[in-house]
Amino acid sequence: MKNVNFINSKITFLLACIAILGCDRDISDDAVEAGFPQNGDIFIDGFSAGLDYFPFGDSFFEAFTVDTETTYDGSAAAMRFDVPNVGDPDGAYSGAIFRTASGRDLSDFDALTFWAKGSEARTINDIGFGQDFGENKFQAQISGTIQLTTNWKKYIIPIPDPSKLTQERGMLWYAEGPENGTGFSFWFDEVKFEKLGTVAQPRPAILNGEDLVQQSFIGASASVTGLTETFNLASGQDVTVIAAPSYFVFSSSNPSVATIDELGVITIISAGTTIITATLDGVDAEGSLTLISLGDFTQAPIPTQDSANVISIFSDTYTNVPVDFYNGFWEPYQTTLSDDFVVNGDNVLNYTDFNFVGTSFSNPTVNASEMSFAHFDVFIPETLDPGTQLKITIRDFGNDGVEGGGDDSDMSTTLVSSDLTEGAWSSFDVSLTIANKNNLGLIIYENNGTNFTNFYLDNVYFWGVPTSPGNAAPTPTDPAANVISMFSDAYTNVTVDTWRTDWSAAATVFEDVMVDGQAAKKYTDLGFVGIETTSATIDASSMTHFHLDIWSPDVTTFNVKLVDFGPDDAFGGGDDSEYEISIANPNQGEWVSLDIPLTDFIGLTGQSNLAQYILVGQPFEVTDVFIDNMYFHN
């Protein structure tokens, strides 16, 4: 903020000059000073005392200067604002607040007025008052309707309710960016609050004057937006000011259903119906919100996939990728509206008047090459018609990364009424069978059914367990002295005769692989595989545990069987013993460290001549399993 200080010091210097020139004003004899000063002047022939310039953090800091050449009516000075061109490294736009150090009482005025002109005819994005980098409690502005010409013209910004401005600090603020790539300059002069007496016919509005009906739930919160007030000026023209919530008094017709606070934030507390309305300075605001609370909200099932294996488009469980929009409002044929809501912190998409709607996530596109499924949770809030059909299309934008260009690919799936449940969530995991999935950019929902107008959507994400581990198994920490290792980079290994006996399941393929720079064994299509140390059986009688790290994208049950050849140290002979331990539902897509007490191998009566180790995977001869760090320890 160094630049800000520099600019402030310039203004202070200017103010000092003005004071020396004797432009300060005496309080008239009959004025009674009470409360804050009733000074409406902002910039007449220079700054009114006590005013400071604070540019917006990301704006062009040097945008504002005091101009002594181009002024209104030949006055001593005017405010000049320079809007940068697109790409200006000093700032993308021009914008600032002009704030007094202590408040002023503006309650006897009815408008902020100023003369202005531009170096060319442009429309200013925002001009107003009440922004103080604090609460901005009584902020008001005209947005997008103040059209500057190249001649000086007077502009009027009515105060929504002057009685509120008894200690206002935000005297003036503005924001204006380049248009068509280029900046320009504009000037303000004779900037002040005035009592015009002709600012009349106040017409406040909430929700932009519309009467809306919205379904909701206990715990949901929403805000009343679209807050404006329209006045008629002496010219006969209407002017609409955007007004902060604190100008309004909000009310809920049924506070037991929902309450609304002074900032227009609604909290729903029970089932029922309430109507939210507002007044401004005693005048009823146009527009209302009829809230139909359906009671408790059934949250969508919380996803359980490991976040490492998920690319999320819309979910509160995961971090979502950048999404362009959840509703593109595609013209001219789309009717679908969005009435999204938040219940107890859970964001839910709510599509109404549904014919079709799209979610775009193309900046950047999503690389789902490691993903196998698309997940959707769908809730049908209204009567589920037997003819309901919800078609979901997933589109890949191809190598060019943009829609079209002849390299896009699509996949679609259609959910029908029997897939869905009225008044409940249904969860879907759709296989990503799309031709390309490394540049996914769009999901389209289409209504191909009858009497289907509304659904909620949550937990839209792609997921998939990778087919091979991305990182090495954890390095064992057991001291080498306590270990008899068959396979580990951490230890010296004993001789293993074979990692796949010829009596293993026919489909099962064994290979030595490297994972993240570390050796591992991979069994593709594992049914069962035999591993043998018959030439030198292992005496694990002093060991307490069998250790094995496994990694599989798809195994649902993993078994390990140890066989001891007994005192004869040979297969058969009546002294062999064995035991098989089964591990159900090991986590997929991550290294799972099995560290099994040898005492768990109940039938393994001998542990001095271990010779065979059999690994079994379910589903049989389908699953792939990587193993590492196979050893005994105590």
Q: Please calculate the CA angle 589-590-595 and round it to the nearest 5 degrees.
A: 135
Minimal distance in Å, beta carbon 232 to another protein?
Answer: 6
Q: Are strands 337-338 and 248-252 parallel, antiparallel or unpaired?
A: unpaired
Residue found under tokens 């001291």: 479
Q: How far is the CB of 231 from another protein (least distance, A)?
A: 11
Number of residues that bind another protein (CB under 8 A): 11
Reported as type and span, the H/E element at residue 14 is: helix 2-20
Interatomic CA distance for residues 466 and 71, integer angstroms: 69
Work out how close the CB of 111 gets to another protein at its nearest, in angstroms, rounded to a whole number. 12
Options 39, 166, 232, 556; binder of another protein; rule CB under 8 A: 232
**Cβ atoms within 10 A of the Cβ of 475, count?**
12
CB of 282 to another protein, least distance (A): 15
Residue 154 found at the interface with another protein (CB under 8 A): no
Beta bridge partners of 175: 95, 126
According to DSSP, the residues that pair with 342 across neighbouring strands are 221, 347
Q: How far is the CB of 234 from another protein (least distance, A)?
A: 5
Rg (CA), the chain: 36
Distance CA(176)–CA(79), nearest Å, equals: 15
Nearer residue to another protein within complex by CB, 110 or 628: 110
- What single DSSP character describes residue 160? S
Q: In this chain, which of 89, 236, 282, 406 binds another protein, going by CB under 8 A? A: 236
Q: Are 244 and 226 in contact (CB under 8 A)?
A: no
Q: By rule CB under 8 A, what string of x and - marks binding of each residue 553-572 to another protein? A: --------------------
- For residue 238, the minimal CB distance to another protein (Å) is 5
Q: Which stretch binds another protein (CB under 8 A): 232-240, 351-359, 558-566, 622-630?
A: 232-240
Provide, rounded to whole angstroms, the least separation between the CB of residue 208 and another protein. Answer: 15
Residue 302 found at the interface with another protein (CB under 8 A): no
- How would DSSP label each residue in 522-543? EEEEESEEEEE--TT-B--TT-
- Residue with token string 């010296």: 492
Question: Is the bond into 476 cis (omega within 30 degrees of 0)?
Answer: no
Count Cα atoms within 13 angstroms, Cβ side, for 557: 11
Which residues, 165 to 204, sit near another protein by CB under 8 A? 195-198, 200-201, 203
Minimum CB distance to another protein, residue 269 (Å): 37
Residue 16 binds another protein (CB under 8 A): no
Q: What's the angle, vertex CA 631, arms to CA 628 and CA 634, rounded to 5?
A: 140
Q: Which residues pair with 60 in a beta bridge?
A: none
- Does position 240 interact with another protein (CB under 8 A)? The reply is no
Going residue by residue from 81 to 120, which x/- string records binding to another protein, judged by CB under 8 A? Answer: ----------------------------------------
Query: Do you know the residue count of the chain?
Result: 634
Among the listed residues 301, 326, 336, the one whose alpha carbon sits nearest the alpha carbon of residue 316: 301
Decide if residue 281 touches another protein (CB under 8 A): no
Choose between 10 and 203: whose C-beta lies nearer to another protein. Answer: 203
Q: Which one of 1, 86, 234, 435 is in contact with another protein (CB under 8 A)?
A: 234
User: Least distance in Å: CB of 197 to another protein?
Assistant: 4
Amino acid present at 155: Y
Which residues are 268's β-sheet partners?
Answer: 258
Tell me: does residue 147 bind another protein (CB under 8 A): no
Q: Name which of 39 and 240 has its Cβ closer to another protein.
A: 240
Nearest to another protein of 199, 548 (CB atom) = 199
**Strand locations in 77-121, DSSP E?**
78-82, 94-104, 111-118
Among 210, 238, 410, 511, binds another protein (CB under 8 A): 238
Residue 227 CB, shortest distance to another protein, in Å, is 19
194/564 with CB nearer another protein: 194
Q: Which residues make up the interface to another protein (CB under 8 A)? A: 195-198, 200-201, 203, 232, 234, 236, 238
